[in-house]
Amino acid sequence: MQGKIIKSIAGFYEVDTGDDLYRCRAKGIFRALGKKPLVGDDVEIDITDTVSDPKEGNVRALLPRKNELVRPNVANVDQALLIFAITHPAPSYNMLDRFLITMQERELDAILCFNKKDIATEEEIRELRETYEACGCTVLFISSFIPESLGEVREILRGKTTVLTGPSGAGKSTLINTLCPGANMQTGELSRKIRRGKNTTRHVELLAAGSGEKFRDTWVVDTPGFTSLWVQDIEPDRLHYYYPEFEKWEPDCRFKGCIHINEPDCAVKAALERGEISRIRYRNYCEIYDELRGRRPVRGAPPPGLHRNLSQTCPVSKLPVPVLRQIPVKLNSYKIR
């Protein structure tokens, strides 16, 4: 029978087959092949016990893995929902751009979701809307406290596996509690305190968002918030590709390969002067460009990343299994000023 691993605890995998949950062990074959089933993996299971509670089975085969995210370590992620509070805390524009760049780096579709609409002013919402309207991704304004504001989010999540990410305090866990029947995520100050404490186990878990046939196969993954974020080692001269709103003007720059910072007759800067490119986005671009050029490496953990995979057939089960092409994590990262 086919199912999806939604949780992994102490050597067991919790597999959701759509109708039931099974507590499964993985056959030794995976260890022999050096493969480890991951949360998010689609698997074939053999059912061994339907009387016990929970029911039990064995993971027999891994189905092909579309991708693998590190931190959190989840397979088959379709997209990332970037959650930022409109206010309390007010977003750091620089960090927001870093999140967007990081998601594009990972080839993960991002949806930008501004939370806490209930306590935001019209002015604050307008500024964010204008800044990010041309950034190349869908932009939503919600309040995790108001279920009626979540219609679009629900539609975007539907049928997909989505990782929620964003800075601490943005409201990721609160949103999950509102979206997922039965979820009981720690929120607020408490969650931050717990996370800083020692011995905090954080299980990666897929949570079913919504219920019924319509929301079948709709999964979300919570992540702890970042207080800073690292932009991978991208070439500074390529940074402009992450600013899709520049593209329209670039052919009119005097120099081919214009960086749009110090060059004369730059069409991007002209558009900026006319107010056709957001000043905030342009400022971030210049700041991040400088930081990438300066290459000020700092020690620390890298951001969530994606491993691209290739598939091949398992010699034993004859089912396709993924071959992980590990992309080395670069520790030359850049800290936010």
Ligand X SMILES: Nc1nc2c(ncn2[C@@H]2O[C@H](COP(=O)(O)OP(=O)(O)OP(=O)(O)O)[C@@H](O)[C@H]2O)c(=O)[nH]1
Rounded to 5 degrees, φ, ψ at 283 are -60, -45
Q: 320: which residues sit within 8 A by CB, 6+ positions away?
A: 63, 64, 311, 312, 313, 314
* CB closer to ligand X, 143 vs 162: 143
Q: Does 116 bind ligand X (CB under 6 A)?
A: yes
Q: Which is nearer to ligand X, 37 or 72 (CB)?
A: 72
Least Å from the CB of residue 117 to Mg ion: 19
Contact between 113 and ligand X by CB under 6 A: the answer reads no
What contacts 93, CB < 8 A, 6 or more positions away? Answer: 131, 280, 281, 283, 284
Phi–psi pair at 300, nearest 5 degrees = 155, 180
Q: Quick one: which of 121, 168, 311, 312 contacts ligand X (CB under 6 A)?
A: 168
Question: Which residues lie across from 167 on neighbouring strands?
Answer: 226
By the rule CB under 5 A, 260 interacts with Zn ion: yes
174 binds ligand X, rule: CB under 6 A:
yes
Among 253, 271, 272, 292, binds Zn ion (CB under 5 A): 253
Examine residue 119 and tell whether it contacts ligand X (CB under 6 A): yes
Question: Which ranges of 225-278 would DSSP assign to H, the alpha helix?
Answer: 244-247, 267-273
The residue at minimum Cβ distance from ligand X is 225
Residue 268 contact, options Mg ion, Zn ion, ligand X, none, Cβ 5-8 Å cut-off depending on partner type = Zn ion
Which tokens hold the place of 175?
Answer: 């949103």
Residues lying near Mg ion in the complex (CB under 5 A) are found at 172-173, 191
The minimum distance between CB 246 and ligand X, in angstroms, equals 30
Contact flag: residue 271 with Zn ion (CB under 5 A): no
Under the binding rule (CB under 6 A), the answer on residue 118 touching ligand X is yes
Q: What b/e readout covers 75-103, taking b as 16+ CB neighbours within 10 angstroms?
A: bbbebbbbbbbbbeeebbbbbbbbbbbbb
Interacting residue with Zn ion among 110, 266, 271, 288 (CB under 5 A): 266
Q: Which is closer to Mg ion, CB of 76 or CB of 191?
A: 191
Angstrom distance (rounded) from CA 28 to CA 203: 23
Write the interaction track for ligand X spanning residues 131-160; mark x where CB under 6 A is met and - where it is not. ------------xxx---------------
Nearest to 226 by CA among 293, 139, 165: 165
Q: Of the candidates 225, 303, 304, 322, which one interacts with ligand X according to CB under 6 A?
A: 225
CB-nearer residue toward ligand X: 62 or 81: 81
Binding partner at 57 among Zn ion, Mg ion, ligand X, none, C-beta below 5 to 8 Å by kind: none
Among residues 35, 98, 172, 260, which is the contact residue for ligand X, using CB under 6 A?
A: 172
C-alpha count within 13 angstroms, C-beta hemisphere, residue 198: 0
In whole angstroms, give the CA distance from residue 230 to residue 222: 19
The answer to whether 187 contacts ligand X (rule: CB under 6 A) is yes
Burial of 209 (0-12, 13-18, 19+ CB in 10 A): buried
Of the candidates 150, 198, 139, the one whose C-alpha atom is nearest the C-alpha of residue 174 is: 150
User: What is the sign of the dihedral through the CA atoms of 76, 202, 211 and 189?
Assistant: negative
Q: Is 240 in the site for Zn ion (CB under 5 A)?
A: no
In the list Zn ion, Mg ion, ligand X, none, the entry touching 253 (Cβ below 5 to 8 angstroms by class) is Zn ion
Applying CB under 6 A, the residues found at the interface with ligand X are 115-116, 118-119, 143-145, 168-174, 187-188, 191-192, 224-225
